[in-house]
Copies of this chain bind each other. A is one copy, B any other.
Amino acid sequence: MFTVGQFSQLAQVSKRLLRYYDQIGLLKPAYTDKCTQRRYYRAEQLTDLNRILALKDLGLSLEQIQKMLRDKISSDELQGMLLLKKAEIEQQLQAELQRIRNIEARLHLIRHAEKHKHLDVIVKQIPAQPVMSVRLVVDSIEAGLKLCEEAMTVLPTQGADSFLFAILHSDGIGEGGLDVEFGRLIIASARIPVLAHHELGFCLRQLPAVETMATYIVNGWDESILTGYNTIATWVQVNGYRFAGPPREIALQLPQTPDGKDGVAELQFPVEPNHMV
Contact = CB atoms under 8 A, between A and B. Distances in A.
B264 A99 contact: no
A90 B100 CA distance: 8
Interface string A66-95: 000000000100110011011001101100
A24 to B, nearest CB: 20
Nearest to A262: B44
Interface of A is mostly: helix
B96 A219 contact: no
Given A12-B125, A121-B54, A93 B97 contact: yes
Given A10-B252, A43-B253, A55 B100 contact: no
A197 interface: no
Contacts of A51: 119-120
A272 interface: no
A79 B219 contact: no
Contact of A107 (B46, B83, B90, B125): B83
A234 to B, nearest CB: 14
Contacts of A55: 119
Interface of A: 1-2, 6, 9-12, 42-44, 46-47, 50-51, 53-55, 57-59, 75, 78-79, 82-83, 85-86, 89-90, 92-93, 96-97, 99-100, 102-104, 106-107, 110-111, 116, 119-122, 124-126, 160-161, 215-217, 219, 252-253, 264, 266
